Structure 1
Amino acid sequence: MKITAYLKLLRPTQWLKNLMLYFPPFLGGTLLQPGVLQKGMLPFLSFCLASSSTYILNDVLDRHRDTHHPRKKHRPIPSGAVPVAAALLVGAACLGGALWLAFSVSHILALILVAYLVITTSYSVKLKELPVVDLFCIASGFLLRLEAGGEAFRIEISHWLFLSVFLLAVFLATGKRLGEKQALGELAGGHRKSLLSYPDGFLQGAMYMTGGAVLVTYTQYVIVRHALVYTVPLCCFGLLRFILRVQAGQGGDPTESLLKDLPLFIVGVLWAVMIGWGLYVGY
């Protein structure tokens, strides 16, 4: 048994998305209060396990198509490093642990987690084949993480923050689909059916539209917070950098883009520092 193969199966780098649970207390200025960080550990861990279980299911269902993908063929299941039966066993263990942790926090958090699991499972089985629907399924995952954070920390999510996260999620999902279509070319339909349904120019247009909308809603969210308005240029740079990366054929995976693109990573760190300074020091 290769431990590294099983770790890759869980896709731990994708757990970065679950930091969305900490956005409500971070943006609400309460993250550094005593006990707040610890309060979010169980919800965060539950979503990490839940997301890993859905990734495993998706990899099992897509294992035959992934063998023809230039990068995904090296994943543990399509490459044969992890047997399907073993992968399903690990996925079931992750699922059970996720539900147990969520119910131990609150029934509402558990319901949000179940909604996340239902949508992501439906996405893996069928919905990813439906154009536009697949984009909204991906976006729902980010929104449910945000709402889970609000529930875990008992913080109400503002309308502008909700809209900013939703539009950003659609923007990133669109960029990811466009990156796949560009990278796979004529083989795109064999890997993902929905890519055949997107006419030329649609994904680019959707990415530009949602990117502009993100800038507007994010500006509305921070403009009343005075010091935070100075993070808008960083938001604009990050959006444009991601578009440039996708259009240049460097891939549209949000997590990989953040970790592997130095300008994006620096901007992300600067954004967090400026938000932290404005909320926890400047005031």
Structure 2
Amino acid sequence: MLLGIVFSQNLLNWDAWLSLLIGIAAFTGVTGATYIFNDISDLGEDRHHPEKQHRPIASGQVSVTVAVVFGLFLAGIGLGAAYSLGPLFLAILLTYLAQNVLYSLVLKQFVFVDVLVVAIGFVLRAIAGVIAINVFLSPWLIVCTFLLALVLAFGKRRNELEIAANPQETRAVLREYSVNDIDQLLVMVMATLLMSYSLYTFSRTDPAMMATLLFAFFAVFRYHHLVHTTNIAGQPEYLLTDRPSVVNLILWGIVAIAVLYNIPEMAVEVVQ
């Protein structure tokens, strides 16, 4: 959700930040509720998963009743915050909620549909970030977010196939996947992601944005390496513990912001 405020050049707009933070709180609440619902619906499978069996609900540390009550509380807080941002933002959040419920109940059982639905969820978050601050929705934001989410989703499926003794017991749809198929799909989606981001840098922004391509390529190459050499794909948030990835992300952010906000030109004007 943060990409919209950065790329719309509203990084220093405090009113936009206030709306965005409310939007983030809304999505955090509803996302938490959907995770609880998903953990409850996956209870049987999670107990056979080498990692998920340690989750609070699967391990029995938190009862289903307590989880349901807490999930409803989070959903109420999230929807209330969304309502304060207007009907369109609320509609996006309700769509996200409905999508996750359908995923937990039905859609996760269909090969490829499962990862596509996950990717669409990330797109809805990105769209919500733009709607919250009322700026233009770039199609490039949708495309790149969708492809990046697909990369992460396929990486996670690959990790599940590798670490589980009987993958179909932890996630039924895994019987339809193979490591070889996912490796090919990963390469295809990664290539498409890099091509899309490359087109964005010189077709819709200052050509100087092409300076960020080096970091984008490194990020994809690094993730591909980690997927095949570590278990980091199973928990993508652990990428924030991978020092090369974090340094690369920071450098990408610095260069992107410098280009988008014309910082070099502003610095020259100040010196003169």
Q: Scaled by the length of structure 2, what TM-score is found?
A: 0.92
1:242 lines up with 2:223 in the alignment: yes
Where does 1:67-216 land on structure 2 (aligned, <5 Å)?
A: 67-184=47-164, 186-216=165-195
Asked if the contact 2:161–2:179 (Cα under 8 Å) also holds between the matched residues in 1, the reply is no
The 2-side partners of 1:240 and 1:86 are apart by 42
The 2-side partners of 1:214 and 1:138 are apart by 16
**One-letter identity of the residue aligned with 1:225:** D
Partner of 1:3: none
- Secondary structure at the aligned position of 1:81 is classed as coil
Partner of 2:264: 282
Asked if the contact 2:126–2:141 (Cα under 8 Å) also holds between the matched residues in 1, the reply is no
Partner of 1:252: 233
- What do the CA deviations read for 1:193-220 (whole angstroms, capped 9, x no partner)? 1111114521111110000001011111
- Secondary structure at the aligned position of 2:206 is classed as helix
Asked if the contact 2:161–2:178 (Cα under 8 Å) also holds between the matched residues in 1, the reply is no
The 1-side partners of 2:142 and 2:60 are apart by 41
Larger CA deviation: 35-44 vs 134-143: 35-44
Where does 1:42-61 land on structure 2 (aligned, <5 Å)?
A: 42-61=22-41
Percentage of pairs with the same residue: 31
Partner of 1:261: 242
- What do the CA deviations read for 1:122-150 (whole angstroms, capped 9, x no partner)? 11112111110001111011110111112
Partner of 2:269: none
Return closer, same or farther for 1:116/1:179 CA change in 2, 3 Å cut-off: same
Larger CA deviation: 196-205 vs 77-86: 196-205
The 1-side partners of 2:147 and 2:167 are apart by 25
Count matched residues: 262
The 1-side partners of 2:168 and 2:221 are apart by 28
Return closer, same or farther for 1:260/1:251 CA change in 2, 3 Å cut-off: same
State the Cα distance separating 1:192 from its structure 2 match.
0.6
1:35 lines up with 2:19 in the alignment: no
Q: Which runs of 5+ in 1 are unaligned?
A: 1-20
**One-letter identity of the residue aligned with 1:151:** I
Asked if the contact 2:147–2:192 (Cα under 8 Å) also holds between the matched residues in 1, the reply is yes
Q: Which runs of 4+ in 1 moved over 3 A?
A: none
Q: 1:225 aligns with which of 185, 198, 206?
A: 206
Partner of 1:11: none
Q: Scaled by the length of structure 1, what TM-score is found?
A: 0.88
The 2-side partners of 1:256 and 1:107 are apart by 31
1:272 lines up with 2:272 in the alignment: no
- Secondary structure at the aligned position of 2:153 is classed as helix
State the Cα distance separating 1:64 from its structure 2 match.
2.1
Larger CA deviation: 31-40 vs 91-100: 31-40
Q: Which runs of 5+ in 2 are unaligned?
A: 266-272
CA RMSD between the two structures: 1.4
**One-letter identity of the residue aligned with 2:14:** P
**One-letter identity of the residue aligned with 2:134:** R
Larger CA deviation: 79-88 vs 224-233: 224-233
State the Cα distance separating 1:254 from its structure 2 match.
5.7
State the Cα distance separating 1:160 from its structure 2 match.
2.2
Larger CA deviation: 246-255 vs 169-178: 246-255
Whose radius of gyration is greater, 1 or 2?
2
State the Cα distance separating 1:226 from its structure 2 match.
2.3
**One-letter identity of the residue aligned with 1:83:** S
